[in-house]
Structure 1
Amino acid sequence: MTHMFPYDGASSSSTSLGSQKSETDDDRMIAMVLSEEYAKLDGAMAKRLSNLTSIPHIPRINTYFPTYSDATLDHHRLLDRLNVYGLYEVRVSGDGNCQFRALSDQLYRSPDYHKHVRKEIVKQLKACNSLYEGYVPMKYKHYCKKMKKSGEWGDHVTLQAAADKFAAKICLLTSFRDTCFVEIVPQYQAPQRELWLSFWSEVHYNSLYDARDLPSKYKPRKKHWLLF
């Protein structure tokens, strides 16, 4: 259903200026975080999972969604793997933006910048269409337009675009039955950092940390009565 609203030029202009200022403030904050954290690779989790063999990553869009029974089994399998490897999930909202929220948390230590992450990934898709359009079985312009919308599920093509855009090796601990580890690497540059996600296959992404190196903001707080 299309909702029609009366046009108010002054109000629209004011809203637009406010939105631009907000985006500028967000960009400044993101630049500051990147300057502090983007330069170094964190190899702690890589060492923890060094015995795992990754499978080749093939970018693809979402064409299959598991049944409720299969999804339940997959989720139990993923939880077991998290426990075995001592990993902690930072759970993000399941609102269709989970891949971008999880990537945002890994990049900026907050899932709240998912809109910026999505925008940058779509820019990458449009700027380097020759790298990705062969994996998209639809009109590529339609795919990019669709992926631009908030709430549109990210897929394995957007993960590859994210790896390329952010110069990051993206590591997925998955619920796949046959393998639990997938690596997505930049196609034409060396990775500058690692981003770790859990992937409940075709259902949900979360941000992933080594439980021993969990950022302080995510550590559970002790009850005050336990401190005495």
Structure 2
Amino acid sequence: MSEHQNAEHGSKSSSSSLSSSVPESDDDVTIGTLLAEAKKTSERSLGKRLSHLDSIPHTPRVNGKIPDVDNATLDHERLFERLKTYGLAELQVDGDGNCQFRALADQIFRNPDYHKHIRKEIIKQLKEFRKNYEAYVPMEYKVYLKTMKRSGEWGDHLTLQAAADRFGAKICLLTSFRDTCLIEIIPKDIPPTKEFWLSFWSEVHYNSLYAVDDLPTRVAKKKHWLF
């Protein structure tokens, strides 16, 4: 898929404040309340142990072709070896099409089940700051938004950029790419104030990333994304 030129950035910051007065669904909680609770959690950074790795510039893009079984297996083995090499572990999230949003929810709230809140905030970002993103979408932008709004629709590298912008965070991906171990996604208009760490099995699955000794203990669920 060809890369698109960077979209023109507006003078208005693309990192929007998340008001605790806006009601959200499910458990009668608000995104603001969740973020306030998340801030109480002691921050941890995996950056030091991976500081020697070179990262590549991030270009937002929609999802590419899913690799065939053989290539996907090789990619997964490569990712597994990298996790072992750097003393990292994945908190496995459901592969129900919401894995990127679940992994981000775990990094922010320590609870993947808040993925709906993450998706809503990302869609808001994509709508409110359209001119920052639409040049990367090779289809009608309204169609892209309508599709991405649905639960179960796979997140892509554009939604990752929107998440970085929305939450003022650097998103670090440990990848299965043969030539790229680490990708860093930086907010466009403001310095990042936090880091989110995800693993990325290329075009297949995202998980939340921890140091081995920090990995939370949770009940594993069936992984629908496995071949």
Residues 103 and 208 in structure 2, CA contact (< 8 A), matched pair in contact too = yes
Q: TM-score under structure 2 normalisation?
A: 0.82
For residues 48 and 98 of structure 1, what CA distance do their matches in structure 2 show? 25
Offset at residue 150 of structure 1 (A): 0.2
Letter in 1 for 2:74: L
Letter in 2 for 1:155: D
Residues 90 and 215 in structure 2, CA contact (< 8 A), matched pair in contact too = no
For residues 189 and 57 of structure 1, what CA distance do their matches in structure 2 show? 16
Partner of 1:42: 44
Partner of 1:154: 155
Partner of 2:223: none
Offset at residue 174 of structure 1 (A): 0.2
For residues 207 and 56 of structure 2, what CA distance do their matches in structure 1 show? 20
For residues 75 and 121 of structure 1, what CA distance do their matches in structure 2 show? 27
Matched, 1:212 2:213: yes
What are the ranges of 5 or more consecutive residues in structure 2 without an aligned counterpart?
Answer: 1-22, 220-227
For residues 30 and 119 of structure 2, what CA distance do their matches in structure 1 show? 14
Residues 42 and 193 in structure 1, CA contact (< 8 A), matched pair in contact too = no
Offset at residue 210 of structure 1 (A): 1.0
Partner of 1:16: none
Deviations 1:105-164 (A, max 9, x none): 000001000000000000000000011100000000110111000000000000000000
Letter in 1 for 2:140: K
Q: 1:23 to 1:133 in 2, by over 3 A?
A: farther
**Which residue of 26, 29, 37 maps to 1:25?**
29
For residues 196 and 73 of structure 1, what CA distance do their matches in structure 2 show? 22
Equivalent pairs, count: 198
Partner of 1:180: 181
Offset at residue 65 of structure 1 (A): 1.4
Offset at residue 24 of structure 1 (A): 3.4
Residues 196 and 208 in structure 1, CA contact (< 8 A), matched pair in contact too = yes
Q: 1:28 to 1:122 in 2, by over 3 A?
A: closer
Q: 1:31 to 1:179 in 2, by over 3 A?
A: closer
Q: 1:76 to 1:130 in 2, by over 3 A?
A: same
Letter in 2 for 1:212: D
Partner of 1:79: 80
Partner of 1:122: 123
Residues 175 and 199 in structure 1, CA contact (< 8 A), matched pair in contact too = yes
Q: TM-score under structure 1 normalisation?
A: 0.81
Larger radius of gyration: 1
For residues 218 and 210 of structure 1, what CA distance do their matches in structure 2 show? 15
Kindly indicate which of the two structures has a greater share of residues assigned to helix.
Answer: 1
Letter in 1 for 2:29: D
Q: Larger relative CO (CA 8 A, sep 6+): 1 or 2?
A: 2
Letter in 2 for 1:169: K
Partner of 2:9: none
Identity of aligned residues (%): 59
For residues 117 and 55 of structure 2, what CA distance do their matches in structure 1 show? 29
For residues 61 and 23 of structure 1, what CA distance do their matches in structure 2 show? 31
Give the aligned CA root-mean-square deviation in angstroms.
2.1
Matched, 1:137 2:138: yes
Partner of 1:66: 67
Which stretch shows the higher mean deviation, 154-163 or 206-215? Answer: 206-215
